[in-house]
Structure 1
Amino acid sequence: MDRPSPPSLAAEPLPISYILPIAAAFPQTRALTGYLRRLSRQVDEVIVVDGSPADVFEAHDAAWSGHVRHLRPLCPTPNGKVGGVVTGIFAARHEHVVIADDDVRYRRAELSRLVGLLAQADVVRPQNWFHPLPWHARWDTARSLLNRVSGGDWPGTLGLRRSRFLAAGGYAGDVLFENLELVRTIEAVGGREIVACDLFVVRRPSTTAHFRNQRVRQAYDELARPHRLVAQLAILPLAVALTRKRRFGALALLAAGSVVAAEAGRRRGEARAVFPPTSALWAPAWIAERAVTAWLALGTRLLLGGVRYRSGRLARSATSRAALAARHAR
């Protein structure tokens, strides 16, 4: 009688193309080499599109070229990430594509779940969570929780179908909120989005300096969603008016309401498994920040013509749904 074959010790690589666009001033070999090696055993194709200076590119190439496809961007764009994404997708061999920033850390189970969701949709938006949790990551977590009850959070990663992206002919490279632009473009050509609030993918927190530099830029994103921007612009005048009238109870009630809303986001889609119980308590701090930075973002647009991005400025946050629908209808 034949003996059954022993089970394979290593699962077959998933039929995915994983695209990591990067542009670094200094080599990221220490931060990324171990992750890319592990990833190359889990998925069939890893593509790093690298817009770094020549010396940094060469250091990356020496460390990574043995287990990933290491490419230069073929189509430079004002928002450099877009050029990296477009280059990677056109080079990809697989229909299912994962786009991820360099601070995102997938595990195989999460990639497998993403493949399953892409069988039902053309673009999938997972949920990032920070680990570890310095103070500024806790602060930014409040933003994620509030977003979870108002249309879903915007992570540093997306899953999408390559064929739908090619049908759209790419997406605009002169916008700041590139993930929103990509999702709206896919939807404009008939694609379907899934907001996977229960697909949790870990993200490494930025430095404190980078966090501070992102405050106005994140607020500038909302120029692409005017109804949200108007609501955020209203916070500061309302707070000032209540303070002048010494209605501190009303201010406290508004702060408590933000905590309740953030906690509702934490309880949605099994998120309590990754977001600590104290996460919602940071919501008033984040809202106070946005009350100020929303006005700074608007002033940046009106007075300076756009928000600073690398060596230039970007005027547009994203293209409206109506404009994209009209463009693709033509």
Structure 2
Amino acid sequence: MPDRSASRATPLALTYVLPIAARTSQARALTGYLRRLARTVDEVIVVDGSLGETFEAHARSWSAHVRHIRPEIRTTNGKVAGVVTGVRAARNECVVVGDDDVRYRRAELARMLRLLQTHEVVRPQNFFRPLPWHARWDTARSLLNRLGDGDWPGTLGVRKSVLVEAGGYSGEVLFENLELVRTMRAAGGREAVPLDLFVARRPPETRHFVSQRVRQAYDEWARPGRFAAELALLPAAVLAGRKGPGWLLAAAACSVAAAEVGRRKGNGRAVFPASSALWAPAWLAERAVTSWMALGTRLLFGGVRYRTSRLRNAATPEHELRAKLQERSATEPA
């Protein structure tokens, strides 16, 4: 009989890329996770855009276990520089990219590897652990997104050859995960969105959560139909309120019911508590206001603030990416 314990101990043929750019050392938060990853997958690459002493502190903590490198390129959205550098440096065809708050287990990485055998890009689903109030609030967004084409997590799986062949992806957009997926699809890649593949994510600090509200609403410039629907939330609520509070209560009840459907899809009840759907009215009320703030940000300032600059574009339309790749292919020598 095969030795199952030996099989479990064999590193998965994956490269794990973690892009980071921290102001202070993240050694305490990440060292244990990186060591566990190094025992689980064939290769771990930390692409570190941190400066000075912070980079050196990370090198001392991590270099014995992972490849700790600097970004080779510069982009306005710094995460993209880290991802592209890490994917290019990977020695495996199958690559998992994860933000610094993502926490994979072996079983989830093994399934990502299996999916990458038949797909070029894989989008799993995140859930927050632990669950402070603002994580419960944001979980409602995830549940509503699961009604459609799934939520957008802080991690993706990609096939290296397809992304390298496409020349990477734009680092001048805000919604970088959507840009990456669209680029992979424009290059002919197949996308998998397993609604039952759940990967834990650490919630942000409350201050950071608050600072992301308008920025997340601005992401929807990349999906005009969805953005228009979110802009319609506020006038719809005003009209409903004029008809009486019962209309608002009915709308809130419908949003809870919709979120509950999202919670039940893909065995979501395994990771999303039963109370999660109750936060849907709060999240929709937030988005009803922040969508208009995002619109004002675009019209008045030309884009949303990202670190020390502003980004105008949320993501590139997929037909434009496809046209650019076709033009590039036509001009390259045979």
- Cα shift at 1:10: 5.7
Distance 2:193 2:307 in 1: 30
Residue 237 (structure 1) aligned with residue 230 (structure 2): no
- Structure 1 residues 5, 114: closer, same or farther in 2, change over 3 A? closer
| Secondary structure at 1:172 match in 2 | coil
CA positional deviation for 1:9: 8.5
CA distance in 2, matches of 1:6, 1:267: 33
| Of 281, 304, 315, the match for 1:284 | 281
TM-score, normalised on structure 1? 0.97
- Which residue of 104, 107, 111 corresponds with 2:105? 107
| Cα distance in structure 1, aligned partners of 2:118 and 2:142 | 25
For 1:198 and 1:312, the matched residues in 2 are separated by 37
Aligned to 2:252: 255
Q: Which residue of 1 aligns with 2:141?
A: 143
**C-alpha distance in structure 1 between counterparts of 2:160 and 2:108, whole Å:** 19
Q: 2: CA distance between counterparts of 1:58 and 1:129?
A: 32
**1:8 offset after TM fit, Å?**
3.0
Structure 1: unaligned runs, 5 residues or longer: none
| Equivalent residue runs for 1:203-214 within 5 Å | 203-214=201-212
**Residues of 1 paired with 2:174 and 2:31: CA distance?**
28
- Give me the whole-angstrom Cα distance separating, in 1, the residues matched to 2:215 and 2:25: 25
Change in CA separation of 1:47 and 1:6 when aligned onto 2, cut-off 3 Å? closer
Q: Which residue pairs with 1:294 in the alignment?
A: 291
Matches within 5 A, 1:263-274: 263-274=260-271
The whole-number CA distance in structure 2 between the counterparts of 1:174 and 1:4 is: 50
Amino acid of the structure 1 residue aligned with 2:137: W
Determine whether 1:326 maps to 2:323. yes
1:140 offset after TM fit, Å? 0.3
Q: Distance in 2 between matches of 1:92 and 1:6?
A: 28
Alpha-carbon distance change, 216 to 112 in structure 1, aligned in 2, over 3 angstroms = same
Matches within 5 A, 1:1-330: 8=6, 11-243=9-241, 245-330=242-327
Quote the Cα distance in structure 2 between the aligned partners of 1:85 and 1:193. Answer: 18
Q: Distance in 2 between matches of 1:186 and 1:278?
A: 36
Deviation at 1:246, TM superposition (A): 3.4
Q: Which amino acid aligns with 2:244?
A: R
Distance 1:268 1:306, change over 3 A: same
5+ long unaligned stretches in structure 2: 328-334
* Aligned-residue identity in percent: 65
Q: Cα deviation per residue 1:164-213 (whole Å; 9 max; x = unaligned)?
A: 11121100000000000000000001111011110000000000000000
Deviating more after overlay: 8-17 vs 116-125: 8-17
CA distance in 2, matches of 1:145, 1:79: 27
Q: Distance in 2 between matches of 1:6 and 1:250?
A: 58
Could you say if the C-alpha distance between residues 9 and 98 of structure 1 is closer, same or farther in structure 2, counting changes exceeding 3 Å? Answer: closer
SS at match of 1:231: helix
